[in-house]
Amino acid sequence: MNNMVEVRDVHKFFGDLHVLKGVSFDVPRGSVTTILGPSGSGKSTILRCINVLEKIQAGSIVVDGQLMGYRKVDGKLHELTEKQVAAQRTQIGMVFQRFNLFPHMTALENVMEAPIQVKGIEKGAAKKRAEELL
């Protein structure tokens, strides 16, 4: 598979407000992708949907070959439990708009924190990977 993220015909509503209207795009593996648009156009919402912090009303989101937030059984979609969604989230890194970095830590330490605390990766391995990413 060449795409790390596949977003297909995603729709998201907040009450009567139709925020995402059939959004589709691919993020190729190993690429850097930018989502641009004016304030209120749905940039943060689509990112929150990818990480299943928001539920979508239609469409699909696949990250590294895994359908996010749902499982398909006999052609029908079934919502994952919160525990299953949390397990999916451990495979995705996300930097929020306000960053929410730990101010007492260096950039390197901030990048290392989740792999060590969430995934149980050894500190030396986490440091090596963080240096590669930075």
Task: Write down the pLDDT at residue 98.
Answer: 64
Does the pLDDT of residue 1 top 70, yes or no?
Answer: no
How many residues in total does the chain contain? 134
29 and 84 part of one domain: yes
pLDDT at position 96? 64
Q: What is the CATH number of the domain that holds 56?
A: 3.40.50.300
Domain assignment of residue 94, yes or no: no
Which amino acid, 21? K
62: containing domain: 3-89
Q: Distance (Å, rounded) from C-alpha 18 to C-alpha 102?
A: 35
pLDDT of residue 59: 95
Residue 91's pLDDT is 84
* Domain count within the chain: 2
Mean pLDDT of the region 104-120: 89
- CA–CA separation, 43 vs 10, rounded Å? 13
Question: CA separation (Å) from 130 to 14, 75, 78, 105?
Answer: 36, 39, 35, 14
Confidence of residue 19 (pLDDT cuts 50, 70, 90): very high
* 77 and 105 co-located in one domain: no
* 84/114 same-domain check: no
